[in-house]
Amino acid sequence: MKYHSQLATEIVDRGFRVTIDMVVKVGLLRYRDHLQLEEIKTFLKCSPAKIDFPISTIGIIAKRFLKFCKLFHEKYEYRIKDDINANGGFVAHYDGTTEKKSSTINFVVKDSLSEHILISEMIPSESYAEISQILRKVKFKYGYPLTTVSDLKPGFLSVSKDSFDKKVPHKFCDYHFLRTFKVDFVTSHNFIKTRLCKTWKITSSLQKQLKSIEQLEKKAYNHFKEIEKHWNDSKDVLQTYRLVLLWILKFKQASSGKGIPFDLPYLDLYDRLIQGKKFIDMIFAEADIAIKQHYCYFNTLIEKVENTRYWSPKFRKSIKMLKFSRKWFNKLRSVLMLGILQDEQDRLAPLSKRYRLTEEEARSIPKNIKSFLEEIETEISSCKNPERVKILARCRYLDYMLSIGRGVFRID
């Protein structure tokens, strides 16, 4: 005898035994919370329900969630089109992503204005034929984009022009362009890291010194001005010294998390050591003889960094080169990001941050870039250091990027 259950038809998809809410839960754990299949298995097993699915079953459930998402997306494509029309068009920002050792690529086309995903498909490779087929689908469903945006893969420019009949301008992503500067920073940065942390053991020695100071209160400051205020209020030499050591050792917190060339943590460590040394000299000037041993220990350590007789020419050269490179890299980055719109708290905010530009602001972008390129040319003409000229020439490469990108500014 067969029974019909109205409840079962509501909570279980036809032909399956797993409830819809379980499909959604597994899907969110996998794709929203980024858990691995093994982690999802442990999560479900340790839940109050004590659900023990095999790994293979969890994988199947996660894929089924994606199928539901695809159907849901297709059902409401008309609403995506309404948003696109309300914005006056769309910007097709496309790229491929894949997990390590995966044989397939998830190729995604996104509208950067409405932030809707227009299409997402698994393809075997980012070949001209595969990408062209996807971009033509976008054109068929949504029409011609205002512009296309991609990373620096050579084939992306040609496939965009061919797929949209050369009517649509193409923009290379600023972030991917700036990331190519890593090769100009990594050698010098790694050398400074090796010299500071392995040869001179600066960080481990500072940590050892920190442990030798009695901690009266659990204070730590992220900004040096706060330490200066603490000193002015307390005049406590030893505790202020402890705060300076903590601040130096927190050098990595000054980084944005984007890696080289956006972050140069070991150059930051060097700068903090030099800045900290000047302040420590000042607070220990009238300190009791009983605590002078801490000052002597720090001076012995810092002498390796500050005193030229310990410096190899390569270390000094690396410091100067990195500072020069960072100066011009930040200028370039600032031009691409529109300095007038940067956050007061983070003057070099993420490049992907969206800005609502007025017409006047948008028109000023080419002028700002032109001024920067003129400044680069002036600097190159007066610079006699070949390595510095190389960095400046790389910044000048922006001109070439704009020419092949067909002059579309800050669409992304």
pLDDT digits (tens, 9 = 90+) for 345-367: 444 444 445 556 667 766 777 78
> Does residue 360 sit within a domain?
no
Task: Report the domain count for the chain.
Answer: 3
> Does residue 196 sit within a domain?
yes
- Tens digit of pLDDT for each residue in 136-173? 999 999 989 988 888 888 788 888 888 887 778 888 87
Per-residue 3-state assignment (H helix, E strand, C coil) for the chain: CCCCCHHHHHHECCCCCCEHHHHHHHHHHHHCCCCCHHHHHHHHHCCCCCCCCCHHHHHHHHHHHHHHHHHHHHHCHHHHHHHHHHCCCCEEEEEEECCCCCCCEEEEEEECCCCCEEEEEEECCCCHHHHHHHHHHHHHHHCCCCEEEECCCHHHHHHHHHHCCCCCCEEECHHHHHHCCHHHHHHHHHHHHHHHHHHCCHHHHHHHHHHCCCCCCCCCCCCHHHHHHHHHHHCCHHHHHHHHHHHHHCHHHHCCCCCCCCCCHHHHHHHHHHHHHHHHHHHCCCCCHHHHHHHHHHHHHHHHHHCCCCCCHHHHHHHHHHHHHHHHHHHHHHHHHCHHHCCCCCCCCCCCCCCCCCHHHHHHHHHHHHHHHHHHHHHHHHCCCHHHHHHHHHHHHHHHHHHHCCCCCCCC
> Does residue 259 sit within a domain?
yes
Residue ending a domain, among 110, 144, 171, is: 171
What pLDDT score does 97 carry? Answer: 80
Residues 161 and 190 in one domain: no
Residues 116 and 212 in one domain: no
> Does residue 243 sit within a domain?
yes
Residues 158 and 210 in one domain: no
- Tens digit of pLDDT for each residue in 63-109? 999 889 888 888 988 999 999 999 889 988 888 887 767 778 888 99
Rounded to 10 deg, the angle between the 313-337 and 359-382 helix axes is 150
> Does residue 400 sit within a domain?
no
CA angle, corner 213, sides to 210 and 215, nearest 5? 100
> Does residue 302 sit within a domain?
yes
Residues 95 and 135 in one domain: yes
Q: What is the mean predicted confidence (pLDDT) over 361-377?
A: 80
Taking Cα atoms as reference points, which of 266, 260, 296 lies closest to residue 280? 296
Q: What is the mean predicted confidence (pLDDT) over 238-256?
A: 89
pLDDT exceeds 50 at position 342? no
Residues 293 and 225 in one domain: yes
Residues 273 and 188 in one domain: yes
Residues 55 and 104 in one domain: no
Residues 96 and 195 in one domain: no
pLDDT exceeds 80 at position 226? yes
Residues 164 and 189 in one domain: no
Please give the residue that has the higher pLDDT: either 403 or 313: 313
Residues 27 and 107 in one domain: no
Taking Cα atoms as reference points, which of 4, 60, 8, 59 lies closest to residue 36? 59
Residues 213 and 277 in one domain: yes
Residues 59 and 130 in one domain: no
> Does residue 378 sit within a domain?
no
As to burial, measured by CB atoms within 10 angstroms (0-12 exposed, 13-18 middle, 19+ buried), residue 147 is: buried
What pLDDT score does 189 carry? Answer: 93
What pLDDT score does 348 carry? Answer: 44
> Does residue 388 sit within a domain?
no
- Domain range for 209 is 182-313
Other Cβ atoms closer than 10 A to 64: 17
Residue ending a domain, among 134, 151, 171, is: 171
Residue ending a domain, among 313, 340, 360, is: 313
Rounded to two decimals, the pTM is 0.73
In this structure, what CATH number is given to the domain that contains residue 163? 3.30.420.10
What pLDDT score does 65 carry? Answer: 92
